[in-house]
Structure 1
Amino acid sequence: MIRKINRIFQDYMREKRLKIGKNIWDRKNKEKIIEDNNFIEDNNIKSILFLRYDGKIGDMVINTIMFREIKKSYPEIKIGVVTRGGAKDIISNNKNVDKIYEYNKKTSEVKKLAREIALEKYDLLIDFSEMLRVNQMMFINMCKAKINIGINKKDWNLFEVSLKSIDYHYHISNLYLEILKFLGIKNIVRKYDLFPTNYMIEKLNLKNKKYVVFNPYAASKHRSFNLENMIKISEIILEKNFDKLILIGTKNHLSELERIKKRFGDKIIIPETENILEVVELISKANLVVTPDTSIVHIAATFERKMLCIYRREIGKEDKNSILWGPNYDQARVIYVDEKVKNGEEIDINKIKIEKLKEKIDEI
């Protein structure tokens, strides 16, 4: 009861803070813009700043479409990206990104970075947030780009252009394609763009070997496999004609993964990776990828690897998540964990029917 009251109070205060923040920061001397055939050329855009301060790796993978397609048509345009964490690492050697700015949530750091960016005088800023927090409003205001584009921001003064919000009946990449078309980019190729390391395959002696990458983990326990299911899934994979099974996890997961290796022996590899691009390299050559709904789905999609991904779906409700964030290519297969849950509860991925998973792996 106390937790419920606290949640109601926090929601109420959040709404108040957002209103106050909007009153302070939703200000801009709007540029007169031309929305004709080619937004970039008509408005003399020479530099574009992308805001991806959420640090989500999957979103950034899909965003790489935009970096490449803009550079393909306008190689002289400067592209800057504001991001953090693993999303920063995923584009650290992207040849289509000219400058990466690391976002820190601390208000003092937000102001410091915004002042640095303001000195560079970007012509166009593109923000992908459907909802802006106060620090993000302040950041956009202080970056002082000539033109700001936002998603579903019709009633904001901070944005010259408001593009339609996400359509949950289509894959998220459609939103990026629509923005590119609005900018005047033509002949768009939908493929994502990642530049992995080139030493992990050799380091782990995987060259010319058939191997599977199994990622058991996601952002929450309800979306991650427990040890019992990890063992069952590993056993199913190892029954097939693969040379190695690579288990992916963070340093916090190592002790759990070692228990699986102890059970199955040398066919299991638990790589000690330093960054996400080393994981990207392993996925890029895998014969099969098995993962819940995480950024790994989009990384595997980049290289069109055979993939089995596991999504959750509430019985009786429209399935929007797996459409919006699905793999979106022919070599991938999806298994749904269907469950009816009470309000506020989460579907547990560990309710998966293992026989169903086995059938899909046979199919692949």
Structure 2
Amino acid sequence: MILTFKRSRTIFGLFILELTNSTILKISRPVKDMKFIKKIRELNRKRNYFKKRLKYKIALYKATKKWHREPSVKISPSEVRTVLMIRNEGKIGDAIVSTCILRTMHEAGISIDVLAIKANEMIFSDNPFIRKIYLTEEMDYQDRYNHAIPDDLINTLKENNYDLMIDTGIWDTGLYMPHMIQAISPKISLGFNKEKWLSHYDVNIRFNHYEHHVKEIYARIINYLGVPGASQQRYEVYYKQSITDEVKAIDFFKKESKKVIINMYASHNDRNLTPQQTQEIISGVLSKNKDADIIVLDYKKKFINDFFHGAYVYHVPSFYHAMATINLADLVISPDTAVVHVAAMYDKPLIGIYRDISDNNKLWSPGYRNGHQIFTSTFVVGEDALLVDNVLNAIDKFDFN
């Protein structure tokens, strides 16, 4: 559903519900009951979280007042011909998913510019469906009113006179966004799950992350614009053929055999596979198919080439090389990270290893038929004693002989 916001007169009602859900206790005497102490600590954590959230909400509300936006010139969605998509964070997986909108919009006659950062520029480089990539510094949502974009770039973006500016974030709104929207002044600004008093957004789309994959937000954008093809989403990242040729030249890929790619690393250490888990997965894979060739991606260069018995360690020179490697694979095994979305882009059989977190399970699932998702029994992936068996059992879902 698409909603247009009107400014609320007060922000204080926003915090009443949060306040009633928080409990603050002060203890004046020693307590020996460890369960009670644990409960107090939990309540204190909730109190601290509430205080942090309240501080952020107040700062965001002040930003809307400080950087007040005059009413923009409204146009109908069907009139949109120029778009600026904001991708000013370093999450590579998010950037890959956002490419699913580019071809459809381009074919509908819409010119798309992307505001990116150096860390994710490679995902958008050489994409024929992007008109222009602008680079800025990475911004955290708690960065305050200064938008961290050079004035000359802001002036350029303003002069581009965009019909539509898309804030792809579905969580917290950056404290810098009111300033950015005011400065760039698009005809329409579109966001997801925004507060009613955040008047800088002309269009707000409600999105339930418990029920939908993140790529659904891009289908909603396409539907808003009235462009056909919202269901025909396709991730697309472009790189030189020479990189694919370089990967194909590795002895590993010259053999006629099943190729298994194992990625150990996620964006957080508590989601990484341990060396022991990796070795046990390798041994299990070979017990199912002794002729399989297994390659372990190691962009951190932690392990020598023959560290794992029965597998080759590939010191990946770039993310493009990792992508080319995955494109040549018959099976990919990886924790929840950008590699999952690369496997989705090439429709590769995948076993994605996820922690069981309700906010994440559907939203960042593989999101395609060949992507199989398993959940760990522990928060730290490396501590899950059942993980290896679960991975090996999942392999049986694919034709791996």
Range class of TM-score, shorter chain? 0.7 to 0.9
Q: Is the CA contact 1:61–1:193 (under 8 Å) kept in the aligned structure 2?
A: yes
- Taking a change above 3 Å as real, the CA distance of residues 281 and 144 of structure 1, as seen in their structure-2 partners, is same
Q: Helix, strand or coil: the match of 2:376?
A: strand
Give, in angstroms, the shift of residue 111 of structure 1: 4.0
Distance 1:150 1:108 in 2: 17
In the other structure, the counterpart of 2:380 is 348
Correspondence 1:20-99 to 2 at 5 A: 20-34=62-76, 39-40=77-78, 43=79, 45-74=80-109, 77-99=110-132
In the other structure, the counterpart of 1:342 is none
- Taking a change above 3 Å as real, the CA distance of residues 195 and 207 of structure 1, as seen in their structure-2 partners, is farther
Give, in angstroms, the shift of residue 50 of structure 1: 0.5
- Taking a change above 3 Å as real, the CA distance of residues 161 and 59 of structure 1, as seen in their structure-2 partners, is same
In the other structure, the counterpart of 1:328 is 367
In the other structure, the counterpart of 1:284 is 327
Equivalent of residue 58 in structure 2, options 16, 28, 32: 16
In the other structure, the counterpart of 1:272 is 316
AA in 2 matched with 1:246: I
- CA deviations 1:262-302 (Å, max 9, x no partner) are 3426x40313323x222111111211100011111111011
Distance 2:207 2:264 in 1: 32
Q: Helix, strand or coil: the match of 1:261?
A: coil
Distance 2:291 2:317 in 1: 22
Give, in angstroms, the shift of residue 97 of structure 1: 1.0
AA in 2 matched with 1:356: N
In the other structure, the counterpart of 1:244 is 293
Distance 2:295 2:53 in 1: 42
Cα RMSD, aligned residues only: 2.6
Distance 2:334 2:63 in 1: 39
Distance 2:69 2:275 in 1: 52
Q: Is the CA contact 1:308–1:333 (under 8 Å) kept in the aligned structure 2?
A: yes
Q: Helix, strand or coil: the match of 1:178?
A: helix
In the other structure, the counterpart of 2:280 is 232
Distance 2:217 2:308 in 1: 45
- Taking a change above 3 Å as real, the CA distance of residues 272 and 165 of structure 1, as seen in their structure-2 partners, is closer
Correspondence 1:60-139 to 2 at 5 A: 60-74=95-109, 77-105=110-138, 107=146, 109-112=148-151, 113-130=153-170, 131-139=172-180
Give, in angstroms, the shift of residue 99 of structure 1: 1.0
Higher mean C-alpha displacement, 103-112 vs 290-299: 103-112
Correspondence 1:144-163 to 2 at 5 A: 144-153=185-194, 154-163=196-205
- CA deviations 1:52-91 (Å, max 9, x no partner) are 11232222222112111111222xx321011224432112
Larger C-alpha radius of gyration, 1 or 2? 2
- CA deviations 1:301-356 (Å, max 9, x no partner) are 11110111111115xxxx452211111222222221134xxxxxxx1112151222
How many pairs does the alignment contain? 337
- CA deviations 1:218-271 (Å, max 9, x no partner) are 121221112221222233234434553222233xx312x32x733426x40313
Higher mean C-alpha displacement, 7-16 vs 188-197: 7-16
Correspondence 1:171-182 to 2 at 5 A: 171-182=213-224
Instruction: Please report the TM-score for the alignment, with normalisation by the length of structure 1.
Output: 0.83
AA in 2 matched with 1:301: A
Q: Is the CA contact 1:169–1:320 (under 8 Å) kept in the aligned structure 2?
A: no
Q: Helix, strand or coil: the match of 2:162?
A: coil
Q: Is the CA contact 1:224–1:349 (under 8 Å) kept in the aligned structure 2?
A: yes
Q: Helix, strand or coil: the match of 2:220?
A: helix
Q: Is the CA contact 1:337–1:352 (under 8 Å) kept in the aligned structure 2?
A: no
5+ long unaligned stretches in structure 2:
1-40, 140-145
Distance 1:52 1:118 in 2: 17
Between structures 1 and 2, the one with greater helix share: 1
In the other structure, the counterpart of 2:248 is 202
Q: Is the CA contact 1:90–1:277 (under 8 Å) kept in the aligned structure 2?
A: no
- Taking a change above 3 Å as real, the CA distance of residues 272 and 297 of structure 1, as seen in their structure-2 partners, is closer
Q: Is the CA contact 2:332–2:351 (under 8 Å) kept in the aligned structure 1?
A: yes
Equivalent of residue 345 in structure 2, options 274, 297, 302: 302
- Taking a change above 3 Å as real, the CA distance of residues 169 and 132 of structure 1, as seen in their structure-2 partners, is same
In the other structure, the counterpart of 1:344 is none
